[in-house]
């Protein structure tokens, strides 16, 4: 078969002269291989740049450069190796066919680079591209061979010719796979892989050319004259072609390196921009966390203060008014203690929604922490602030479903007004807090405006707190007064109740109602209780030395003191230091103190009672004690609050309540003390009902130790009015006690209704 003057798959002619003396210059073959390696490396670089470029013109440019590098590498191997051919005939080249071979190489390389453009190239597409590229290489080679003008015919063996085709296709397939694999990657290892792939690809193209050249046999026709080669300029031409190919490849590699650096800088710039964006997001998140409450999404104290200062400056310039409202949820701690903190958090979210729905859009609502909220609102009169507060309180009373329960919460509100109550945010917030404290102190579920009296009272309480702390530390000014307690059966003084007093240098003698609340609020009550215990025990020891050895001392104990595990050891230490018998001491606690933590309280009271110290419950009937708990408590004495004795015996309801309490106490094997006895009629009634002890102004006011001797001497004679025969029978069972208690409860309700 003849094609472009080439005898393909044809037998050698029987006549003619075969050119046997032909060989290749090894230096030119090495030059061709080196040039091809550089071109293949440049091709891999272009494929990588094409992969990382934005779709469009840039991608097309890298594709074109890659095609030029690949085509020049293939064509340079062919042409330089052709120039390396040395035979005993004169060789010339057809320019048109040579140019056609170059165009074929360009077209095949373009098709290959186009296939590498697809990021998700399928195996079938790679096979097609390898077939096109391999056939293009073969076609380029044999068109280039047809461009040779020599005085001999070219005959090609079929086996080697097919072998060259197969080698070209396999080389193309391996090259495309390597190019696809090496499109992305960095580092020294990636560079080494790319160099190895370039060597392999160039070797495959070289093998294709050499196999095709081996398949060729030159036959000089018998009638043709043999033309010997004249001058040999193959070296110069080879170097020129090599230089041009290397220039193309080097330029492409340089462009690829520059683009890679530029793209790296762009990547770094994008990364910096991304980091800046993340920093902005982090800054926004920090601002959100710094100025907003995570639970309710309301602004927090810090964010509120920023807005408050802006609003103050605005209203000061416009001579307007602002209202600051402090809100505190009434008895919120009981929700956390009973239902848990998770339920408390859910409740706070609902309450925040209630407050927001009751306010206007322009109002500022903040959560300061815990169950404290604050509202900032513009207004024209005090009435607007009152109406807003009442609207919030009404909204708060709507039932809330929480943890399977339906509950109603209330709130206490304190209000301060700008500019009437202050001109700075700190001053207005402090005054609103004082007004809130007033609302809570007057029964909660209430609102109060700030007035100057609250500030004076707060200043006085702060001063009293500081002075009380100093008085406790220096044991200066505090003293103990004693009120006798008489046994109604014998008419003699059997006990003394120790009552603390404070001889203030400016305000004179202060009763406990002036400073006990301050001590409880500021953590001083425990130190005060222990001081009274030690001082009273010391005074009792002195009384014992002066002939009053049978007296029992009653000392009050607050809820905070009763919560101390060390209380039993502290009482024991005080008794040991003064050499007192524990049976001479009686510890007096209130219902509120007993009901705090009932289980630990019972254990502590049992430990104290095991020492021999008697226990009494004070102000009975004013708290929430349960009969079941009262039966379990290790008590000895029950004291009836003075509020039940005040109207006895004229008030029937109070008489019935006192009767029921005495019957119940005796049924529980408790002694009964009635406090607040001021008249003989009250004493006679209590004696008739079987009350065990009494105390009150009828006997004596609380007096200091120096005046107590005279009082004890006066009361040492049994009371003439006492009727020792007025005993009553105790009930046989607690059923009668329950009936009396039911009667007592109904009587108490009736008395409150009156």
20 has pLDDT over 80? no
In this prediction, residue 714 carries a pLDDT of 87
CA distance 315 to 326: 20
CA distance 554 to 386: 48
In this prediction, residue 746 carries a pLDDT of 35
Listed in sequence order, the residues at least 6 apart from 81 whose beta carbon sits closer than 8 Å to its beta carbon are 24, 28, 29, 32, 206, 209, 210, 213
Percent of the chain with pLDDT over 70: 82
Task: Give per-residue burial for 143-169: e unless 16+ CB within 10 Å, then b.
Answer: bbbbbbebbbbbbbbeebbebbbebbb
Q: Which residues pair with 28 in a beta bridge?
A: none
638 has pLDDT over 80? yes
In the predicted model, what is the mean pLDDT of residues 708-720? Answer: 75
- What is the tens place of the pLDDT at every residue in 480-518? 999 999 999 998 999 999 999 999 888 889 888 888 888
In this prediction, residue 688 carries a pLDDT of 94
Residues 635/636/641/647 CA torsion (nearest 10 deg): 140
In this prediction, residue 233 carries a pLDDT of 58
In this prediction, residue 222 carries a pLDDT of 60
677 has pLDDT over 90? yes
Listed in sequence order, the residues at least 6 apart from 124 whose beta carbon sits closer than 8 Å to its beta carbon are none
37 has pLDDT over 60? yes
Distances (CA, A) of 39 to 74, 77, 89, 446: 8, 10, 32, 91
301-450 maps to CATH 3.40.50.970: no
Indicate the helix (H) or strand (E) that contains 265.
Answer: helix 234-291
In the predicted model, what is the mean pLDDT of residues 277-304? Answer: 85
Listed in sequence order, the residues at least 6 apart from 178 whose beta carbon sits closer than 8 Å to its beta carbon are 44, 197, 200, 201
In the predicted model, what is the mean pLDDT of residues 449-461? Answer: 79
Q: Which pLDDT band, with edges at 50, 70 and 90, does 388 fall under?
A: very high
Q: Which pLDDT band, with edges at 50, 70 and 90, does 565 fall under?
A: confident
634 has pLDDT over 50? yes
In this prediction, residue 1 carries a pLDDT of 61
In the predicted model, what is the mean pLDDT of residues 377-404? Answer: 89
Of the candidates 500, 317, 565, the residue with the CA atom closest to the CA atom of residue 419: 317
Q: Which pLDDT band, with edges at 50, 70 and 90, does 743 fall under?
A: very low
Of the candidates 561, 621, 566, 639, the residue with the CA atom closest to the CA atom of residue 593: 561
- Are 673 and 683 in contact by the 8 Å Cβ rule? The answer is no
Min mean pLDDT across 152-166, 415-429, 620-634 is at: 620-634
Min mean pLDDT across 38-42, 66-70, 729-733 is at: 729-733
747 has pLDDT over 60? no
4 has pLDDT over 80? no
CA distance 217 to 209: 14
Q: What six digits make up the tokens of 159?
A: 């086996």
CA distance 624 to 382: 39
In this prediction, residue 751 carries a pLDDT of 37
Task: Give per-residue burial for 530-543: e unless 16+ CB within 10 Å, then b.
Answer: bbbbbbbbbbbbeb
CA distance 44 to 651: 111
In this prediction, residue 324 carries a pLDDT of 94
In this prediction, residue 245 carries a pLDDT of 77
Q: Nearest 5°: phi and psi at 323?
A: -120, 135
Distances (CA, A) of 392 to 304, 409, 447: 19, 12, 11
In this prediction, residue 352 carries a pLDDT of 92
Task: Give per-residue burial for 95-122: e unless 16+ CB within 10 Å, then b.
Answer: eebbebbbebbbbbbbbbbbbbbeeebe
In this prediction, residue 641 carries a pLDDT of 87
Of the candidates 86, 195, 91, 71, the residue with the CA atom closest to the CA atom of residue 141: 71
Q: Which pLDDT band, with edges at 50, 70 and 90, does 285 fall under?
A: confident
Would 301-450 and 472-728 be classified into the same CATH topology?
A: no
737 has pLDDT over 90? no
723 has pLDDT over 50? no
Higher-scoring residue by pLDDT: 301, 111? 301
Distances (CA, A) of 562 to 226, 309, 333, 337, 558: 132, 46, 20, 19, 6
659 has pLDDT over 80? yes
Q: Which pLDDT band, with edges at 50, 70 and 90, does 157 fall under?
A: confident
Min mean pLDDT across 206-215, 224-233, 639-648 is at: 224-233
DSSP per-residue string spanning 530-554: HHHHHHHHHHHHHHHHTT-TT-EEE
In this prediction, residue 724 carries a pLDDT of 40
- 3-state DSSP assignment of residue 445: coil
- Are 434 and 414 in contact by the 8 Å Cβ rule? The answer is yes
- 3-state DSSP assignment of residue 6: strand
Count of beta carbons in the 10 Å neighbourhood of residue 407:
12
571 has pLDDT over 80? yes
In this prediction, residue 234 carries a pLDDT of 60
Average pLDDT of the chain? 80
Q: Which pLDDT band, with edges at 50, 70 and 90, does 414 fall under?
A: very high
Sheet of 321-329, strands arranged across: 364-369, 372-379, 321-329, 411-418, 447-449
CA distance 673 to 697: 14
Higher-scoring residue by pLDDT: 229, 212? 212
CA distance 389 to 359: 9
> So where are the chain's domains?
2-258, 301-450, 472-728
In the predicted model, what is the mean pLDDT of residues 230-259? Answer: 73
In this prediction, residue 18 carries a pLDDT of 61
CATH superfamily membership of 472-728: EAL domain (3.20.20.450)
- Are 371 and 328 in contact by the 8 Å Cβ rule? The answer is yes
In this prediction, residue 535 carries a pLDDT of 92
Looking at residue 247, the DSSP 8-state letter turns out to be H
- What is the tens place of the pLDDT at every residue in 305-350? 999 999 999 988 888 899 999 999 988 888 887 788 888 899 999 9
In this prediction, residue 11 carries a pLDDT of 64
Q: Which pLDDT band, with edges at 50, 70 and 90, does 183 fall under?
A: low
Q: Where are the beta strands (DSSP E) in 655-725?
A: 671-674, 693-694, 703-704
- What is the tens place of the pLDDT at every residue in 109-137? 787 777 666 555 567 777 777 787 778 77
R_g of the chain, CA atoms, integer Å: 55
- What is the tens place of the pLDDT at every residue in 195-225? 877 788 778 777 877 787 777 776 676 665 5
């Amino acid at each position: 078969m003849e094609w472009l003057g080439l005898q393909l798959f044809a037998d050698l002619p029987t006549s003619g002269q075969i050119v046997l003396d032909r060989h290749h210059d090894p230096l030119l073959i090495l030059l061709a291989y080196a040039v091809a390696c550089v071109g293949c490396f440049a091709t891999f670089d272009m494929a990588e740049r094409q992969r990382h470029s934005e779709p469009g013109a840039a991608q097309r440019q890298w594709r074109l450069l890659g095609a030029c590098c690949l085509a020049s590498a293939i064509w340079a191997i062919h042409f330089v190796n052709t120039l390396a051919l040395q035979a005993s005939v004169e060789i010339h080249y057809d320019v048109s066919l040579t140019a056609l071979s170059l165009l074929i190489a360009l077209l095949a390389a373009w098709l290959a680079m186009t296939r590498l453009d697809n990021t998700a190239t399928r195996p079938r597409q790679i096979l097609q591209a390898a077939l096109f590229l391999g056939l293009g290489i073969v076609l380029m080679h044999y068109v280039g061979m047809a461009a040779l003008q020599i005085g001999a015919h070219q005959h090609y063996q079929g086996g080697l010719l097919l072998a060259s085709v197969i080698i070209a296709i396999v080389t193309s397939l391996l090259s495309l796979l390597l190019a696809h694999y090496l499109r992305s990657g960095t580092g020294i290892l990636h560079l080494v892989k790319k160099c190895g792939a370039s060597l392999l690809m160039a070797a495959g193209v070289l093998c294709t050319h050499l196999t095709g050249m081996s398949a060729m046999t030159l036959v000089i026709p018998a009638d043709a004259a043999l033309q010997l080669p004249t001058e040999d300029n193959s070296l110069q031409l080879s170097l020129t072609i090599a230089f041009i190919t290397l220039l193309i490849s080097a330029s492409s590699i340089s462009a690829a390196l520059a683009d890679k650096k530029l793209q790296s800088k762009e990547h770094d710039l994008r990364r910096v921009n991304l980091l800046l964006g993340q920093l902005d997001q982090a800054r926004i998140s920090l601002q959100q966390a710094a100025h907003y409450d995570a639970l309710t999404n309301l602004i927090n104290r810090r964010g509120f203060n920023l807005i408050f200062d802006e609003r103050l400056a605005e209203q000061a310039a416009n001579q307007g008014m602002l209202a600051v409202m402090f809100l505190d949820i009434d008895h919120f701690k009981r929700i956390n203690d009973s239902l848990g903190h998770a339920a408390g958090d859910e409740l706070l979210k609902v309450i925040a929604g209630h407050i927001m729905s009751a306010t206007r859009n322009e109002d500022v609502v903040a959560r300061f922490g815990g169950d404290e909220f604050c509202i900032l609102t513009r207004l024209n009169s005090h009435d607007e602030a009152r109406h807003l507060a009442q609207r919030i309180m009404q909204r708060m009373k709507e039932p809330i479903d929480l943890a399977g329960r339906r509950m109603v919460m209330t709130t206490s509100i304190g209000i301060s007004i700008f500019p009437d109550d202050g001109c700075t945010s700190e001053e207005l917030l402090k005054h609103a807090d004082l007004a809130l404290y007033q609302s809570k102190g007057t029964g909660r579920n209430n609102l109060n405006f700030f007035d100057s009296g609250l500030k004076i009272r707060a200043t006085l309480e702060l001063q009293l707190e500081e002075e009380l702390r100093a008085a406790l530390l220096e044991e200066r000014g505090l003293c103990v007064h004693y009120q006798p307690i008489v046994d109604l059966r014998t008419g003699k003084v059997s006990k003394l109740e120790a009552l603390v007093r404070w001889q203030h240098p400016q305000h004179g003698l202060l009763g406990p109602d002036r400073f006990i609340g301050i001590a409880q609020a500021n953590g001083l009550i425990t130190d005060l209780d222990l001081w009274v215990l030690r001082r009273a025990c010391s005074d009792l020891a002195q009384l014992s030395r002066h002939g009053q050895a049978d007296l029992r001392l009653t000392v009050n104990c607050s809820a905070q003191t009763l919560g101390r595990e060390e209380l039993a050891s502290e009482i024991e230490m005080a008794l040991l230091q003064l050499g007192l018998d524990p049976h001479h001491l009686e510890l007096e606690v209130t219902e509120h103190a007993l009901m705090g933590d009932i289980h630990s309280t019972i254990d502590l009271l049992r430990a104290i009672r095991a020492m021999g110290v008697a226990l009494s419950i004070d102000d009975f009937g004013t708290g929430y004690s349960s009969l079941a708990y009262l039966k379990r408590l290790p008590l000895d004495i029950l004291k009836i609050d003075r509020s039940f004795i005040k109207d006895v015996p004229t008030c029937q309801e109070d008489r019935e309540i006192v009767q029921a309490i005495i019957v119940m106490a005796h049924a529980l094997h408790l002694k009964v003390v009635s406090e607040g006895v001021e008249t003989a009629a009250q004493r006679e009634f209590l004696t008739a009902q079987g009350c065990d002890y009494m105390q009150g102004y009828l006997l004596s006011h609380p007096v200091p130790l120096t005046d107590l001797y005279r009082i004890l001497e006066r009361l040492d004679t049994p009371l003439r009015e006492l009727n020792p025969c007025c005993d009553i029978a105790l009930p046989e069972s607690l059923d009668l006690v329950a009936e009396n208690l039911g009667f007592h409860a109904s009587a108490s309700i009736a008395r409150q209704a009156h």
